[in-house]
Each structure stands twice: as C-alpha cells, then as structure tokens.
Structure 1
Amino acid sequence: MSTETLTRSGATTPKTDQYKVTFPRLVKSETIKLATVRSTIWSLAVAIVIIVGFAVLMAFALRSQDIPDFGSELSLGATVATFGIGFGQLVIVVLGVLSIGSEYSTGMIRSTFSAAPTRIPALLAKMLVLAVMAFVASAIALFAAFFVAQAILPASQTASLGDPQVLRMLVGGALFLAVMAIFSVAVGAIVRSTAAGISIIVGLIFILPGLLTAIPWEWVKTIGRYLPDSGMAVFSEAGIMPHEPWTGFAILVAWAVAATLVASVLVKRRDA
C-alpha cells in the first residue's frame, strides 16, 4: 500500500523544469511579443522601403545625369545601395526605443519583470531579438537595393558582390542598424520614456555631430569623431570617414555596450 502511494505521489509531482525561466525562453517570449505588435512589422517594412526606395531614386537620378563616378575608386553601383541607410536608421532607433518605452508607459514591464525577476536577462533578450530582426530586414533591403540599382544603372557604372569593399559595405550596413537597435533599446531603458529616448538618440546621431564640427576648437572636433555616428564608416567607402570601417564600427559597439551596462544597472536597482 505504501509503495503504491509513493508511486502515485511521484507521478503527480510537477516538473519544475517546465516552468523554469531560461534565456532561450525569454528570447522566445520577446520574439512573440515583438512579432505580434503591428508597429514592429510596419517599422521594419518602412525601413526596407526607405533603403530600397532611396537606392532606386538615386540610381535613376545618376543614370539621367550620366555621372561616371563620385570621384572615388568605387563605382556608383557600390555606393548607391547604402544611400538610404542614414534615413532607415531613424526608423530602427524609433522602433528600438518604442519597444521598451511602450512597456514602461503601459505598465507591461511589471509583468515582464515578474516573470523574469532578475530583469537583466529579459532586457538582453529584447535587445537580441530586435537586433536580429533589424539585421535580417536591413540585409534583405540592402542586397535588394544593390541588385535593383545594378539593373537601373548603365553597365559602365555597375558593380558586383566580388568587387572590393562591396560585400563589407552591404553586410556592414546591416550590422550598423542591428547595433543601433541595441543602443536604442538601452537608451529607452535608461530614460524609461519613448519621447525622451528618441530625442536623445536623434540628438546624438543627427544634431550633435554637426554642431561639434562647426565649433573651431580642435578638442571639440576630436570628441565629435567618437560619437555613435562613427559607426557609419562600416558601410562607407574606406578613407572618407575619420576612422577606418571596422574602427568606426567598434566605436559604435562601445557606445552600445556602455549604454547596455548602464541600463542593466538601472533596471536592476529601480522599481518597475
């Protein structure tokens, strides 16, 4: 009788592993959360349209003017595809800040942190999912923009994936937008406000670099060379930016890592 009782007791014991919060499960949760929100799908779609659209417009404009090159070693076909990244990044950073800022504004962040009490893995999972989404969407857009541009431009201006720098520029552009997504989520987690987060990132990327360049003091201009926009070198022609392609990208990564560390500390210490 006792043996039968023990057997039944063991059979009905819940398996705690089925309910354990793990990082892969947090990633799955964030994937479902982001993929089922219309703003995510629309934002990524708009980013793709912007990148491809600007490449098409630029290719038609250059074809009509019959410009042989920009005075560089790269053909027009290599540079036209990345022309829209500067505009597409605005959509990505808005999406990044919105993904975390909206949770704070609606109070959903309390449910997220209740399910993941350590908090930091949930934040990192959101960053990873959004970065992967941004990379995939921008890679599709950039390669599509590249091939469409080659079909529009005259044969003398086209390029191929095997040409020097071309593959680095296309993949680098996708990596740039992926890291910008991480950086924007971190800033959003720090300020806990969509409007404030977007304002800070837009200021850092679009406004502050121009202001620092206009100031005649050399030390100010030096600071300007180490802002997040240095990462644009990774999809630009080598030699036209203050830093080499991967050096500029490393500066952007450093900004993203620093912002993530600050966000992690604040998320852990502050009330949701």
Structure 2
Amino acid sequence: MGKHKKELAGNVITEIILILLALVFLLPVVWMFAQSLKSAEQLTDFKKLFDFPITFRAYVDGWKGGRFLTYILNTVKISVLCVAGTLTSCSLAAFGFAKFQAKGKNILFMVVLSTMMVPTTVTLIPMYNFYSKLHWLNTITPLVLPAFFGASTYNIFLLRQFFAGLPNELGESAQLDGAGWFRIFRSIYLPNAKPALLVVAINQLVFCWNDYMGPLIYLGKPATFTIALGLNAFKGEQGATMDIGPLMAMACITILPVLLLYLFFQKYFVEGVAASGIKG
C-alpha cells in the first residue's frame, strides 16, 4: 500500500508540474488573444489581461488593412503541394530502404541521414542561384519542388522505421500471388502506414504554414506572400503605432489552423510517433 501511495503521489506531482509548464507556455498565446479583443483605448491599460466590454474591431481592421485572404490562399496552396510531394517521395524512399535488399543499402541510408547535419544556410546561396537561373524566383516552385524529391530526411527516417516494423510476410505473400513491388507498396504497406503518414503530413503542414525563411528568400512580390511574410509586412505597415490589436488579431487567425490540427489529430499523432519507434 505504501508503494502504491508513493506512485500516486509521484503521478500527482508530475501532473501538477506539467500543468504549470503548460500554463507558462500558453501565457503568450492567451495574452495575444486578450490584446486582440481590446479597443485602442483599452490597450493602454496594462494592468488588465482581459478588459470589458470586449470588441472584435481589431479583427475587422486587421482583415481590411492587409491582404490576408491572399496570404492564406498562397500558404494553403504551398502547404498542400508540399504535403502531397513529401508523402509521395518520402514514403517511396522509406519503403525502398526498409524492404528492398541491395548491396550498400545501409551505407546509402547513413549518407542520407548525414544530410540532416548540413545547415540549411550552407546550401542557401547555391540553391538561390540555381532557381534564379531557371527564372523561378517569385514563384512557389522553389518552395514546392524539393518536397517531390525527398528533401525531408527526417520524414524518410520516420517512415523507414515504421515500414521496417511491418512483417515481411505481407509482401512475400503478395509476391507469391504475382503482385509487383509497386502494387505491394500501394495496396498493402501504404494502408498499414496511415498513422506514420499522418504524422508526416502534420509535421510538413505545420512547417510549411510557419515557414518564414524560404518565402523570404524566394518570394518578393506581395501578391505571392505567405501568411508569415504577410504578417511581417503588416507589422511594417502598422509602424510604431500603439494600436497592436489588429496585428494580434491576425496573428490569432494565423495560429488557429495549427491549433485545431493538433486538437483534432492529437490521438493519431501520438500513435504514429509511438508506432514509429526505433526498429531494425
């Protein structure tokens, strides 16, 4: 009984610590949301987190003051294409590393993993020159194209670990029935990898939605801006004004899709990460 009480006390203390940490991390988001519900006069009162009556004028002013519909549509287009490309290229590469038998496969896989240690800034200038010579600047091509060629090493690793954990007998049985490798991949292994694929999709979607460096380098026209660049441009247009309500309102709209994504898919995200643990 004493051991049970100690375990219970330890669990309670752990939960309390986690709740306190969650509150600390949530405080900036709560503050941002509170500022977006204040009038210009209420924003000067720093003593109150929430002030009444609340107003949504910041959302109206922010939406009218920028081209946020264009920014959001551009971001959605880039994100969807990147997710589709990443799922296609990374799943094919991961399946090959996990199930195909070839000389030097493990060495090649280590080479692929080693690219994770190369900083993005090292390849920034060569890639910029490459896309510039192809006249692809101010288009979404530089942001989307790498996804279709397995640019995400981490996602290849994650999917490879998942495929390696699936029984080889699944593919061998299909081979006896005359199925080719692509048919085996598409009809057998891919449906069983849905949890891991969902994790990859969420990771890639969040990365594309929040990406600032890529669009900053390759996109120079306001009509092509993503939401990250749009927010920064809107901040510049606001200048040194004390009315930060519209900026906070647009920031709340920006993070809302990501929050909803994790809220509705948290279960599958955890299952995918757990199921994709380190396997041979």
Alignment TM-score, normalising by the size of structure 1: 0.30
* Greater length-normalized contact order (CA 8 Å, ≥ 6 residues apart): 2
Alignment TM-score, normalising by the size of structure 2: 0.29
